[in-house]
Structures are given as C-alpha cells and as structure tokens.
C-alpha cells in the first residue's frame, strides 16, 4: 500500500485503466452472467452497506430477503419454501449437499458417504467433494446429454446421502429427467437437490414446460441464481428447501450478533444483492421475465439458422438459451475468434464443441457480426 493516499482523479484514472482491460459484454458469448438490470443496480447501490450476516440490524433488507424467498418459492411451486440468498450456485450446491450429509444417519462408521450426480454436474461438485470429504459419484448421461436415471440408480448404496439433478446444465443447457429422478429419490427415501442455477429463471418462462421443481414430490431443494438469468447483481444466488428441517440442520450458533443463529455458509453477506434481486423481480414480474426469455430464445433460434447457412450444426437442439456448435477443432476456432476478432466463446468437454450462451446483453446485430466472423474462421 502507498504511504499517502492518491487523489480521486488518480483513482478514477486507475479504475479507467482497469476497466478498459475488461472485455465488454457486447463481445462476450460465453457468460452465464449479464449486464444487471438498471433497477437492480440502483437498489444495489442504495443498500451497499447492508449486511445480512447480522440481519437484526437491517430489518428492512431482511424483509426484502423474505419476500424474494416467498416469490421464488411461488415461482418454483412451493409457496412455503424456506431458504436464503447465497453468493451463487456454488454456495447453494455446497449447502444443499451439506444438508443431505447432516441429515443422513450413518449406518456404519467405515466407508465414505457419497452423493450421486449426473456427469454433467457443474465443477462446484468437485469442490463439494473436497470441502465435505464426500464421494461425488458421477452417473453417465444419455445420448442427449441428460442424466440417465438408470445409471444414477446403479450408483446408490447405503452410504448415499442424496441425489442431484440439473435443470439447465452449464455446458448444454440440458434438463435432466427430473420426474424420473424424483421417483428414484422417493423410492430410496433420499433427498433430491436440483441445480437450476442457470435454468431457474429460464424454465418457468419458456413456452415449452418442463417438470423440474417442487411440483415433483421428490425434490427437496433447489438452487437458482438471480445473478445469471434473473438480471440481478453479483453475488445473488438463492437456495430453497421444501422442508425447514433441511435448512435447520445447517444452523450455527451466533453468540454475539443481534440474531442468535445463522443457517448460511458465509457470515457477512451482501444486503445489496438482496435489494437488487427484490427490486428487479418486483419490476419485471412474470411478464418481464417471459419477455426476456422469449427474446433470448428467438436469438438462439436465429443463431442456429444463421450458423446452419455456414454448414455449422448444433450438437443438440437447444432446450434453453445455450447453443453448442459442431466445428472442426473447436479449441483453435475459439482462440482465433478471441485473438483476431475479440469474440469470447467457450468450448464443451465431451464432445468438444463451441459453446455460446445467448444472454440478454446480446442482440441480433451482435449475432450477425459474430456469424460473419465465424464464417471467416471456419473457412480457413
């Protein structure tokens, strides 16, 4: 740290330099985050100092958190759902598996406990394995990159604490057969967590309906991220439990706060993200989210049509606004797009393909420019 402080102009200039090195979202086709809604940004700034770690001091913010949980519970077909605002999908997934682990009655002290997830699960589950010292068993996928309920069933044993299904997979935007997996969970008496970090603010607003939420009896918890398709600010995740028991087993005694216990993983927690999420959900309503999702889906279909003119086809027909394109040497195409054309896309692991997430910050014009550059790269 420098001995004396810099002037405000100097700081602004340093910030400007840093900002100029960040990519602007209008060149980014790989992100599940987007420019937050202006209403969310305004609310975020208004509550910038609010700390939900000691919510007894911030009763107004806490009331907004409860309202966000109520609205999200309704959206996901469980009006009485319990939960809180996390920092995002990773924390929500950690807490959901931690809850499963805490509720599990260990039959013997020997083998490690395990959780069964689809092979398509987000890498946060690898962190979970390490943090919770639990085996993460990855079940194979079917031809459409959905979890195979059969493969999941074959991995369940007496040390299994729970199951996970994904509604909107990171790489393909695919939705697992949650109804079948819910049946499996009920049959084995296991909790079932749905990772809808991305899909939670997409699936309820699609024309085509998918059963993925608390409407299925076996589903016990859901992760859904307002900082992705919810158009809120970072860090805003939501973790919901159908039953208070599943949240209660995460309780820690908090001796010197205005509240005597915490269920959260983090201590100090952003009230700004709570306010932002409250504001944008109230502002957009179902109508606003439906319009956002429809626009993203229209652009998704448009991109598929334009790519097909180049002879480039998708790996799967997109279920949501995630597009995977079959191209020769995806890694080379990705790096050329970045180096020579300043487009930022990602690639999938298996099969290797170009991966694009069609977020609200995109436009048809942006897709046209991208496809015309893609044409040049694919031809070479």
Residues that bind ligand 0PR (CB under 6 A): 30-33, 88-90, 93, 122, 124, 166, 168, 170, 195, 197-198, 225, 237
**By C-beta, is 182 or 232 nearer to ligand 0PR?**
232
**By C-beta, is 113 or 238 nearer to ligand 0PR?**
238
Could you tell me which residues are beta bridge partners of residue 355?
Answer: 324, 346
**By C-beta, is 171 or 180 nearer to ligand 0PR?**
171
Q: H/E element holding 86?
A: strand 82-86
The CB-of-218 to ligand 0PR minimum distance in angstroms stands at 19
The CB-of-214 to ligand 0PR minimum distance in angstroms stands at 18
Taking CA 213 as the corner, what is the angle to CA 61 and CA 195, rounded to the nearest 5 degrees?
A: 75
Could you tell me which residues are beta bridge partners of residue 165?
Answer: 194
Give dist(CA 161, CA 78) in Å, integer: 23
Dump the DSSP string for 230-291.
Answer: T---SS-EEEEESSHHHHHTT-EE-TTSSSSEE-SSSSS-BHHHHHHHHHHHHHHHHHHHHH
3-state secondary structure of 18: helix
For 146-169, b/e burial (b = at least 16 CB within 10 A) is bbbbebbbebbeebbbbbbbbbbb
**By C-beta, is 58 or 241 nearer to ligand 0PR?**
241
**By C-beta, is 124 or 159 nearer to ligand 0PR?**
124
The CB-of-36 to ligand 0PR minimum distance in angstroms stands at 13
Question: Which token pair is 99?
Answer: 């809850």
**By C-beta, is 33 or 304 nearer to ligand 0PR?**
33
The CB-of-268 to ligand 0PR minimum distance in angstroms stands at 17
**By C-beta, is 299 or 378 nearer to ligand 0PR?**
299
The CB-of-147 to ligand 0PR minimum distance in angstroms stands at 13
The CB-of-225 to ligand 0PR minimum distance in angstroms stands at 5
The CB-of-228 to ligand 0PR minimum distance in angstroms stands at 7
- The secondary structure of residue 120, as a DSSP letter, is T
Rg of the chain (C-alpha set) = 22
């Amino acid at each position: 740290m420098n001995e004396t402080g810099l002037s405000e102009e100097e700081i602004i200039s340093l910030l400007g330099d840093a900002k100029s090195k960040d990519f602007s979202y209008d060149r980014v086709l790989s992100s599940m985050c987007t420019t937050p809604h202006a209403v969310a940004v305004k609310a975020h700034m208004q509550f910038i100092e609010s700390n939900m770690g000691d919510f007894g001091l911030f009763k107004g913010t806490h009331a907004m958190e409860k309202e966000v949980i109520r609205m999200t519970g309704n959206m996901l077909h469980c009006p009485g759902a319990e939960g809180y605002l996390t920092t995002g999908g990773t924390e929500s997934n950690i807490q959901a598996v931690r809850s499963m682990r805490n509720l599990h009655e260990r039959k013997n002290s020997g083998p490690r406990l395990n959780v069964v997830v689809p092979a398509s699960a987000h890498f946060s589950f690898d962190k979970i394995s390490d943090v919770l010292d639990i085996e993460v068993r990855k079940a194979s996928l079917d031809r459409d990159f959905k979890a195979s309920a059969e493969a999941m069933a074959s991995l369940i044993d007496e040390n299994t604490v729970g199951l996970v299904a994904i509604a909107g997979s990171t790489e393909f935007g695919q939705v697992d057969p949650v109804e079948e997996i819910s049946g499996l969970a009920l049959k084995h008496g296991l909790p079932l967590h749905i990772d809808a970090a991305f899909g939670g603010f997409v699936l309820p607003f699609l024309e085509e309906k998918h059963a993925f939420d608390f409407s299925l009896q076996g589903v016990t918890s859901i992760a859904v991220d307002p900082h992705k398709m919810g158009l809120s600010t970072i860090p805003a995740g939501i973790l919901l439990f159908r039953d208070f028991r599943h949240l209660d087993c995460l309780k820690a005694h908090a001796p010197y706060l205005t509240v005597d216990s915490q269920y959260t993983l983090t201590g100090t927690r952003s009230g700004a993200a709570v306010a932002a999420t409250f504001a944008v959900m109230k502002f957009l309503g179902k109508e606003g989210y439906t319009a956002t999702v429809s626009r993203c889906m229209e652009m998704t279909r448009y991109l598929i049509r334009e790519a097909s003119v180049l002879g480039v086809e998708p790996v799967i027909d997109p279920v949501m606004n995630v597009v995977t394109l079959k191209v020769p040497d995806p890694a080379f195409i990705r790096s050329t797009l970045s180096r020579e054309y300043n487009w930022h896309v990602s690639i999938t692991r298996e099969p290797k393909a170009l991966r694009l997430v069609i977020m609200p910050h995109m436009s048809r014009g942006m897709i046209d420019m991208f496809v015309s550059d893609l044409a040049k790269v694919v031809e070479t």
